């Protein structure tokens, strides 16, 4: 199969000359195998992969085949669904604009109407546009915070959330049913425009979206009166956040806003950063330099598609900078939004927050301490959006805030994905509020939260395992962890083991088993007696296996040492498993 695919792609004139030349220049058989041993996997979020020629790479031919499957699925809903159509956005990555147009014209060829944004836009605005334009689906071309070699294709359904598993499986079935890669030429752009199948979208959606974002501010008068007293340095990291973040903050009154000039403009090579990921401290080095020079209070960074936000704040007014982890940022915004809404009488009776099982249990303690319910879901913001929809339709909860530890945050009911534009507004307002009311920084408020609700420390480690062999190694690691009897980790007793693949949990003290109500997923979570956990899961978007650590200790002086014992013992266990696997293969 691999050789047949390679010969087809490298010789058939359906594939353009650049594609054929790229493939014919390959001499490494392992590289050829990796490009053709499988199709780039379409999961519940869509596609993500390295840009290049081949069935296991991101390219316009994979875009065509995937979009054809989506078009056929939409067509099953009838003429009304095709008329409602699909809205498409893209970020600043290599080929993003070309891939977006390619998808639009394949849909048009199938008689599906398309609304195509006229330039790059944030992923959360695409989610909003699906709802605002009442389309049946949405597509955004992005690889989020991945390295420059990657691009991706995310599909959204009519509620504005990422396509749920049922629809994703049905779309995948359509894609897989077509074995032939040939004959999927898109409609010409001129014809699509002339026939009314393609419409370009501009400022009319931007303004409504930004008005909604600004409407989430809890203290708009404070922002208007004192906004100039908070100095902010912002970087869009060469991505789509530049215009909407700047507009939202400045229009609210936060006029002391400085944008890092070297990172202001779109750049698909991301030449000023090792990775365009605000989770990585070195990515914000330029922001820190400008922050010190300007004596800024707050540093903000959005990733290329502006759905994740990195935050750096002063330890105390005028003090050194420290970067918040995703867990710390999520806990801080949970506290700010719920406590302020409570004071203002804006907290509804059935208020709920939603977080992932990989995120800190401290958020549960904060919410419950403020009289607000908590819903925990699987890792991935699509599950937060699904739970929000479930609450809304069932009338049993009112969504207040959602977050995941990987720098994703959401408030409001008009976007159904993580939104860094919204998060930038909320963090800026909160930083100003605490500066004006008590001369405190975000970090000082966090210390108050710890003192009141408990001291926690979190972290994450990843093992990159690329290629076919890496995928097999990840599966074997997870299987080995399932088979081992793990009663303690780093001196802490494991109280419960939850296996989301089997959808079953077990109380290790009593031996009692219990069902897990969340969907099936290849995730293991070991919860400690008294709070905290270790969790393992293969990434759904990158070739790596991830491990999450959370430790609680009432004595903050011993917390670091306890955390390090847990982390080091667990990683030693995983390295030993990996060494055995690789030794057996050798």
Rounded to the nearest 5 degrees, what angle is found at the Cα of 399, between the Cα atoms of 393 and 403? 125
Tokens representing 180 are 């032939």
Whether residue 13 is contained in a domain is answered as: no
pLDDT at residue number 43? 75
Asked whether residue 410 falls in the same domain as residue 559, the answer is: no
The CATH number given to whatever domain includes residue 110 is 3.40.120.10
Whether residue 117 is contained in a domain is answered as: yes
The CA distance from 37 to 149, in Å, is 20
The residue among 146, 178, 201 that closes a domain is 201
Phi-psi region of 565 (alpha: psi -120 to 50; beta: other; left: phi over 0): alpha
Closest CA to 426 of 504, 329, 495: 329
Tell how far CA 471 is from the center of its chain. Answer: 21
Longest dimension (CA), the chain: 70
Asked whether residue 110 falls in the same domain as residue 142, the answer is: yes
Whether residue 182 is contained in a domain is answered as: yes
Asked whether residue 433 falls in the same domain as residue 299, the answer is: yes
Rounded to the nearest 5 degrees, what angle is found at the Cα of 460, between the Cα atoms of 165 and 359? 55
Domain, as residue range, for 445: 209-453
pLDDT at residue number 44? 67
Asked whether residue 514 falls in the same domain as residue 401, the answer is: no
Residue 415 CB contacts under 8 Å (≥ 6 apart), including other chains: 124, 127, 128, 160, 422
Q: Read out DSSP for 162-215?
A: BPPHHHHHHHHHHHHH-----S-PPPPHHHHHHTT-EEEE-HHHHHHHHHHHHT
**Residues pairing with 408 in the sheet:** 404
Asked whether residue 290 falls in the same domain as residue 393, the answer is: yes
Asked whether residue 471 falls in the same domain as residue 409, the answer is: no
Whether residue 281 is contained in a domain is answered as: yes
Specify the number of domains making up the chain: 3
| Cβ–Cβ under 8 Å, residues 56 and 36 | yes
pLDDT at residue number 170? 94
Asked whether residue 374 falls in the same domain as residue 481, the answer is: no
Asked whether residue 192 falls in the same domain as residue 290, the answer is: no
Closest CA to 51 of 100, 120, 11, 99: 99
Asked whether residue 249 falls in the same domain as residue 348, the answer is: yes
Asked whether residue 325 falls in the same domain as residue 469, the answer is: no
The residue among 393, 422, 453 that closes a domain is 453
The CA distance from 91 to 348, in Å, is 36
Whether residue 581 is contained in a domain is answered as: yes
Asked whether residue 448 falls in the same domain as residue 553, the answer is: no
Written as tens digits, the pLDDT of the chain (586 aa) is 899 999 999 999 999 999 999 999 999 999 999 999 999 988 767 899 999 999 999 999 999 999 999 999 999 999 999 999 999 999 999 999 999 999 999 999 999 999 999 999 999 999 999 999 999 999 999 999 889 999 999 999 999 999 988 889 999 999 999 989 999 999 999 999 999 999 999 999 999 999 999 999 999 999 999 999 999 999 999 999 999 999 999 999 999 999 999 999 999 999 999 889 999 999 999 999 999 999 999 999 999 999 999 999 999 999 999 999 999 999 999 999 999 999 999 999 999 999 999 999 999 999 999 999 999 999 989 999 999 999 999 999 999 999 999 999 999 999 999 999 999 999 999 999 999 999 999 999 999 999 999 999 999 999 999 888 888 999 999 999 999 999 999 999 999 999 999 999 999 999 999 999 999 999 999 999 989 999 999 987 778 999 999 999 989 899 999 999 999 999 999 999 999 887 766 5
The residue among 419, 453, 487 that closes a domain is 453
Whether residue 485 is contained in a domain is answered as: yes
pTM of the model: 0.95
Helices (H), 456-532: 467-483
Whether residue 8 is contained in a domain is answered as: no
The CA distance from 366 to 401, in Å, is 13
Asked whether residue 413 falls in the same domain as residue 499, the answer is: no
pLDDT at residue number 585? 64
Whether residue 425 is contained in a domain is answered as: yes
Which residues are identified as catalytic? 144
């Amino acid at each position: 199969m691999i050789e047949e695919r390679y010969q087809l792609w490298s010789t058939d004139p359906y594939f353009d000359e650049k594609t054929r030349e790229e493939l014919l220049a390959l001499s490494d058989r392992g590289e050829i195998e990796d490009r053709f041993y499988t199709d780039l996997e379409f999961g519940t979020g869509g596609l993500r992969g390295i840009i290049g020629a081949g069935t296991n790479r991101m390219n316009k031919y994979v875009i065509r085949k995937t979009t054809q499957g989506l078009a056929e699925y939409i067509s099953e809903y009838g003429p009304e669904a095709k008329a409602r159509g699909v809205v498409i956005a893209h970020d600043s990555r290599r080929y993003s604009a070309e891939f977006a147009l390619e998808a639009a014209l394949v849909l048009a060829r199938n008689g599906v109407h398309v609304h195509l944004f006229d330039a790059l836009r944030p992923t959360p605005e695409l989610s909003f546009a699906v709802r605002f334009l009442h389309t049946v689906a949405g597509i955004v071309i992005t690889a989020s915070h991945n390295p420059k070699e990657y691009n991706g294709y995310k599909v959204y359904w009519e509620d504005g959330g990422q396509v749920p598993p049922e629809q994703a499986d049905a779309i995948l079935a359509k894609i897989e049913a077509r074995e032939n890669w040939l004959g999927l030429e898109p409609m010409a752009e001129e014809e699509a425009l002339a026939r009314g199948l393609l419409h370009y979208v501009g400022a009319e959606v931007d303004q409504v979206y930004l008005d909604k974002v600004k409407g989430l501010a809890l203290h708009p008068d404070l922002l208007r009166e004192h906004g100039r007293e908070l100095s902010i340095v912002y970087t869009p990291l060469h991505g789509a956040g530049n215009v909407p973040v700047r507009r939202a903050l400045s229009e609210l009154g936060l006029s002391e806003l400085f944008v890092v000039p070297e990172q202001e403009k779109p750049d698909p090579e991301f030449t000023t950063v090792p990775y365009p990921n605000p989770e990585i401290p070195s990515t914000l080095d330029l922001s820190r330099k400008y922050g010190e020079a300007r004596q800024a209070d707050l540093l903000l960074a959005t990733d290329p598609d502006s759905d994740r936000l990195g935050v750096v704040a002063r330890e105390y007014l005028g003090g050194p900078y420290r970067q918040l982890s995703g867990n710390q940022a999520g806990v801080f915004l949970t506290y700010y939004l719920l406590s302020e809404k409570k004071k203002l009488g804006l907290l509804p009776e059935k208020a709920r927050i939603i977080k992932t099982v990989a995120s800190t249990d401290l958020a549960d303690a904060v919410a419950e301490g403020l009289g607000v319910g908590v819903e925990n879901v699987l890792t991935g913001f699509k599950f937060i959006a699904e739970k929000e929809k479930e609450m809304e339709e069932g009338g049993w909860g009112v969504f207040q805030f959602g977050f995941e530890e990987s720098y994703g945050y959401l408030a409001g009911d008009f976007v159904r994905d993580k939104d860094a534009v919204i998060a930038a507004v909320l963090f800026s307002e909160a930083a100003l509020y605490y500066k004006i009311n008590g001369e405190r920084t975000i970090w000082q408020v966090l210390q108050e939260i710890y003192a009141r609700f408990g001291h926690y420390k979190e972290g994450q480690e990843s093992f990159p395992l690329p290629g076919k062999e890496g995928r097999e190694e990840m599966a074997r690691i997870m299987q080995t962890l399932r088979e081992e009897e793990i009663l303690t980790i780093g001196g802490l007793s494991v109280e419960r083991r939850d296996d989301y693949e089997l959808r079953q949990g077990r109380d290790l003290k009593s031996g009692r088993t219990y069902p897990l109500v969340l969907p099936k997923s290849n995730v293991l979570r070991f919860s400690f007696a008294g709070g905290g956990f270790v969790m393992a899961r293969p990434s759904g978007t990158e070739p790596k296996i991830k491990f999450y650590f959370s430790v609680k200790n009432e004595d903050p002086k011993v917390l670091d040492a306890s955390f390090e014992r847990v982390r080091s013992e667990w990683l030693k266990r995983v390295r030993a498993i990996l060494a055995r696997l690789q030794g057996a293969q050798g």
